[in-house]
């Protein structure tokens, strides 16, 4: 499954980087569900998600490993775990390009393989997952632009 998107954020590239490179700060931007992040070391985290809107409550636990950190331009990671008894593995990256002193272009991609029962529904859930990711990045954009405006006031 492939997900991707891009947006422009009216904030410095460093402000955007400081948020996306800190999983707890990045998760604070997500209004789509509850996320708990446990730091294992500087590059490894355990992420517990409670996705909203399901027919039954479900916790998803994923291992996240930062694989590429090129401050303040690029961050990449791998994920792995089990969802509904099936394996989930994936990669993702976020690239930042400075368009101006307070304007950052953000491009992101994520590729995941779903196994088990969930794998059979990959085509059906790709759209809702893309929508949730788009909403998360819109929330991040709104938060960072408000922080940038407050810092400039």
Closest CA to 78 of 95, 66, 68: 66
**Does 124 reside within a domain?**
yes
pLDDT of residue 58: 64
List, in sequence order, the alpha helices (H) in 21-121.
23-28, 116-119
**Contact yes or no for 58/50 (Cβ under 8 A):** yes
**Does 65 reside within a domain?**
no
Count of residues making up the chain:
153
Number of domains forming the structure of the chain: 1
d(CA 80, CA 46): 10
**64-74, pLDDT tens digit by residue?**
999 999 999 99
Question: Which range marks the domain in which residue 87 is found?
Answer: 2-31+70-152
**Does 102 reside within a domain?**
yes
Q: Is the pLDDT of residue 26 over 60?
A: yes
Q: DSSP secondary-structure letter at 33?
A: S
Look up the CATH number of the domain holding residue 21: 3.30.530.20
Q: Is the pLDDT of residue 51 over 70?
A: no
Q: Is the pLDDT of residue 138 over 90?
A: yes
First to last CA, the chain: 42
Which whole number is the average pLDDT over 122-130? 86
**Does 20 reside within a domain?**
yes
């Amino acid at each position: 499954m492939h997900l991707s998107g891009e947006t422009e954020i009216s904030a410095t590239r460093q402000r955007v980087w400081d948020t996306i490179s800190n999983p707890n700060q990045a998760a604070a931007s997500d209004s789509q569900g509850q996320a708990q992040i446990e730091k294992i070391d500087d590059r490894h985290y355990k992420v517990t998600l409670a996705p909203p809107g399901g027919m039954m409550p479900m916790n998803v636990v994923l291992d996240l490993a930062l694989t590429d950190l090129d401050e303040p331009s690029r961050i990449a990671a791998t994920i792995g775990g089990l969802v509904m008894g099936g394996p989930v593995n994936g990669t993702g990256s976020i690239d930042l390009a400075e368009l101006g002193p307070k304007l950052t272009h953000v491009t992101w991609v994520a590729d995941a393989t779903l196994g088990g029962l969930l794998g059979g529904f990959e085509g059906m859930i790709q759209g809702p997952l893309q929508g949730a990711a788009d909403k998360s990045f819109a929330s991040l954009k709104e938060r960072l632009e408000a922080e940038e405006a407050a810092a400039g006031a």
